[in-house]
């Protein structure tokens, strides 16, 4: 293992993380809900009456965030080294997996750990493990 | 009023994701690649988020109702079952392949990256597949 000091951004990443915590706390205190992106998005596929607008507004905020931040700050670039077919397969796996497992990095990783849920800890350990393993296989065994 | 805060929460969460580096699949893969040149930055993202949110969840546990007086909607399931473990393992594979999890992918789609838009559409399709009756046999769906 070697540390990639060139790309290491501890303060910016910590600041971003603290902001995620603030948004999560605000959402919880005002709306009484767990801020989980996969749950919020998938709830729009078959919305119950009166249960759609808050989801749309939250997702609109997410979609608008690059425009708003970009007005004040030079946005970091998103770098891709994944082919289209792999992107589609990955998207299907993320969509299906987060529904089957009832949550993703936000719902289990931030909210679940913050409310000390053993269930979310188990989920987080699982997706971290296969995330690390998948990159290892793709970059070091198949490449 | 509550409606405004739902939008602002999404906005702040998206800005947090951009600042942290999560919307850059290259950085996410750099974090997940411990055997290569490892970029540990993203460990601080979850750590920072949890460090703040833990106080809010502790406060909510005592209060019981939201500041607007609404009921709390918390995940009801406590069991660590096969659904949870298999789903999370599958999610991690997709996360490692693309370098995207759901939130950052939606934000990057908002930036107009075609790769992010394709990923989000595939992700919604994957979620829709899970709604098919054949998967009901795996047990009831729980949130977050």
How many distinct structural domains can be found in chain B?
1
Q: In the block, which residue shows the tokens 């690390």?
A: A132
Is A4 within the bounds of a domain? no
What ipTM was assigned to the predicted interfaces of this complex? 0.96
B105 vs A108: CA distance, rounded Å: 17
Q: Are A21 and B124 within 8 A, CB to CB?
A: no
In a domain, B143, yes or no: no
> Could you tell me the residue range of the domain that residue B131 belongs to?
2-138
Low-confidence ranges of chain A (pLDDT < 70): none
Domain containing A56: what range?
A: 10-142
Determine the Cα–Cα distance for residues A29 and A114; give it in Å rounded to an integer. Answer: 14
B77 touches chain A (CB under 8 A): yes
Which pLDDT value is given to residue B138? 61
* Helices (H), ranges, chain A: 10-31, 37-42, 53-70, 84-100, 113-114, 118-136
Which of B2, B34, B123, B138 is the best substitution to test chain A (most A C-beta atoms within 10 A)? B123
Q: Model confidence over A94-130: pLDDT tens digits?
A: 999 999 999 999 999 999 999 999 999 999 999 999 9
On chain B, the residues whose CB falls within 8 A of the CB of A29 are 56, 59-60, 66-67
Tokens 């987080």 belong to residue:
A124
pLDDT at B11: 97
Q: How many domains does chain A have?
A: 1
pTM above 0.90, yes or no: yes
Domain-located, residue A2: no
Write out chain B's pLDDT in tens, 144 residues: 788 999 999 999 999 999 999 999 999 999 999 999 999 999 999 999 999 999 999 999 888 888 888 888 888 787 999 999 999 999 999 999 999 999 999 999 999 999 999 999 999 999 999 988 776 666 555 554
Q: Is residue B36 part of a domain?
A: yes
CA A55, CA B72: separation in Å to the nearest integer?
A: 16
The answer to whether B125 and A98 have CB atoms below 8 angstroms apart is no
């Amino acid at each position: 293992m070697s540390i990639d000091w060139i790309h290491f951004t501890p303060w910016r990443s910590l600041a971003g993380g603290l902001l995620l915590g603030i948004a999560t706390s605000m959402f919880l205190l005002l709306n009484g809900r767990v801020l989980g992106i996969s749950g919020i998005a998938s709830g729009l596929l078959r919305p119950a009456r009166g249960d759609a607008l808050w989801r749309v507004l939250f997702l609109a905020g997410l979609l608008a965030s690059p425009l708003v931040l970009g007005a004040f700050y030079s946005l970091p670039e998103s770098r891709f080294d994944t082919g289209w077919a792999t992107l589609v397969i990955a998207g299907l796996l993320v969509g299906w997996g987060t529904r089957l497992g009832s949550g993703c990095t936000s719902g289990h990783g931030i909210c679940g750990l913050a409310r000390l849920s053993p269930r979310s800890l188990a989920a987080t350990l699982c997706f971290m493990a296969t995330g690390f393993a998948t990159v290892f296989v793709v970059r070091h065994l198949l490449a | 009023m509550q409606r405004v805060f739902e939008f602002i929460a999404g906005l702040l969460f998206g800005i947090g994701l951009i600042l942290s580096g999560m919307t850059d699949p290259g950085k996410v893969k750099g974090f997940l690649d411990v055997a290569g040149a490892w970029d540990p930055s993203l460990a601080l993202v979850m750590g920072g988020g949890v460090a703040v949110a833990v106080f809010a969840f502790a406060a909510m546990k005592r209060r019981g109702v939201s500041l607007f007086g609404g009921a709390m909607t918390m995940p009801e399931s406590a069991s660590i079952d096969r659904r949870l473990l298999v789903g999370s393992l599958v999610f991690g594979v997709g996360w490692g392949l693309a370098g995207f999890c759901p939130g950052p992918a939606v934000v990057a789609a908002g930036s107009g990256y075609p790769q992010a838009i394709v990923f989000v559409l595939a992700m919604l399709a994957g979620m829709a597949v899970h709604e098919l009756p054949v998967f009901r046999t795996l047990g009831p769906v729980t949130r977050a």
